[in-house]
Each structure stands twice: as structure tokens, then as C-alpha cells.
A and B are shown apart, each in its own frame.
Chain A
Amino acid sequence: MEEVKEQTGHMPRIGEPAPAFEAVTTHGKLKLEDFKGSWLILFSHPADFTPVCTTEFIAFTEIYPELQKRGVELLGLSVDSVSSHIAWVRNVEEKTKVKIPFPIIADLNKEVSLAYGMIHPGQSKTETVRCVFIIDPNQIIRTILYYPLTTGRNMDEILRIVDALQTTDKNAVATPANWRPGDMVVVPPPNTQEMAEERLKQGYECTDWYLCKKKL
């Protein structure tokens, strides 16, 4: 059990403060607290100069302007060196004309990887799997996604989650399955019988007292 913990580190949970770190990146030494006040997507990839990761970095760069409109910063991570990251970023730009605009952590000593549970020994004992941590402006973990080494991430889903979290925070609502911005949102379930009866008179679109939707 101890051996497993040594290999995997801490497994963070949604709703917990994001583990603090200070790390060497392609944009200099950064601390988690440098991102305070912004949303942050911290994501790991298995290794530089690998095909799936390259497609993902191009895809993250493509959605970066949309993320910035939503006040979201991106921060990549792998256990490669900063020299490797720089060489890879330059190679991607040379071969694809895509310039990676966000920093990448060089987590050679695996301090950040272990603090965020990014190493899954069943997949690889040395590389990080494809993790996504969506961290809010108060530095609380709001979403965790894990993808296997062989599956590239879905950027539409990452943007959709950011939109859903920000809509939830702004309006105190929840979002139903497959929700997209502009769709109806779910009104939080009532806590008392009186509230259940009242909500049926409030003009919501209700399937029943526990499932009511409204337009924003």
C-alpha cells in the first residue's frame, strides 16, 4: 500500500484546495498562487515529442483565445526537462506554424505530478497520464478529468465544463446532461415540501417537483 502511495502520490478531490506548488516552467518559475483570481486549467501530458500530445497542444492553443475570454489560463506539465519543452514547442511551431502561448511545467522531480495524482502506475510508472484540473479563482479544484495515454482530450468538453461552472457560479443553478450555453438550466432541488409546492407555481418548465428547468 505504501509502495502504491509512493508511486501515485496524493489524489486530489473536487472541492479541495488545489495543492500549492512552485515549479520551473517554459515561462520561468511559477507558483500556483500566481494564478489567483483567474481560472486555471492545469493539465499533464505523458511526454514531449509524442504524437497524441502534439495534437493536444495544438488543440489547446486553438481554444486558448476562447479560454482567455472566459478568464481562464492554461498550464501544461510533464516530467520532461525545460530544455525538452522548449525544443518541442519550437519544433511544433516550425512544423505546424502553431506557437504554444502558455507555460509548461518541467516536473523532473515529479513534485507536482505526485501532489496532483497524475502518475497512474497501471498506465505508466514514469509518465503522467492525461489529467485536466479545472481550478477556480479561489484555487479550489472544481473538475478533474483523467484520460488514458492513448486517448487525446476533447477540447469542446473542456470549454463546455468551464462554461457550465461559470454559469453555475453566476446564477446558482445546475446544468443538465449535454448542456450548452443558451440551453435551459436546472433549478436546484427544493429542500422542503413548501418549496416544492411553491416552485410549481413559479413558471419553470417542470417535469415534476424535483426536476425543473428555466431559461437564463
Chain B
Amino acid sequence: MACISPDGKPTESGSKMLRALQAGLKSPEEISSEAGLPLFRVRSGLRELTEAGLAKQRDDRYELSEKGAELIK
């Protein structure tokens, strides 16, 4: 897992992505630009964050889940 450590906590890149989602719905391209991560890393990271229940997909955009929001408080 590149975005979530084995202990369930987000890695540095995972945290960057979650923080980028704090302001609301974002496209992978917007997250890439805000988090300073390559787009391919963001796309794969969003899959992980979604599977872990930390982010939610709505159409082509993503937002924080309650669990994700709680984690980066």
C-alpha cells in the first residue's frame, strides 16, 4: 500500500491527498496539482483510499469520507 501504512495510518503521500480533499470534491488532476504528486500516483492512491473507506468517489471526482475526515483532524 502506497497511501496507507500497514498500521492503517496514511503515509505522507496519502496524507497529502486527504488534505487536498478537505476543501470538497476534487478531480484526480486537481488533487495531483494541489498535493504535488504525479497523476498516476494520485489515481492509484485514490483507489486505495476509496477501498479503505477514507475517500468516496462521485462520478469522476472524489471527496473525503467521514472516516477520512476524522483521520486527518
- Interface of A with B (CB < 8 Å)? 27-31, 33-35, 37-38, 73
Contacts and interface: CB of A to CB of B under 8 A. Distances in A.
Contact of A31 (B3, B41, B44, B45): B44
Contact of B48 (A28, A37, A73): A28
Nearest to B28: A34
Contacts of A33: 43
B38 interface: yes
Interface of B: 1-3, 38-41, 43-45, 47-48
Nearest to B29: A37
B42 to A, nearest CB: 9
Contact of B44 (A28, A37, A73): A28
A73 B45 contact: no
A38 B45 CA distance: 17
Given A28-B45, A28-B48, A34 B40 contact: yes
Contacts of A37: 39
Contacts of B2: 27-29
Contacts of B40: 30, 34-35, 38, 73
12 contacts: A27-B41, A28-B45, A28-B48, A29-B2, A29-B44, A29-B47, A29-B48, A31-B43, A34-B40, A34-B44, A35-B40, A73-B40
A35 B47 CA distance: 14
A28 B3 contact: yes
Contacts of A34: 39-41, 43-44
Contacts of A27: 2, 41, 44
A33 B45 CA distance: 13
A216 to B, nearest CB: 29
Contacts of B39: 34, 37-38
B1 A28 contact: yes
Contacts of B47: 29
A67 B10 CA distance: 29
Nearest to B3: A28
A99 to B, nearest CB: 15
Contacts of B3: 28
B49 to A, nearest CB: 11
Nearest to A32: B40
B39, B41, B44 — most chain A CB neighbours (10 Å):
B44
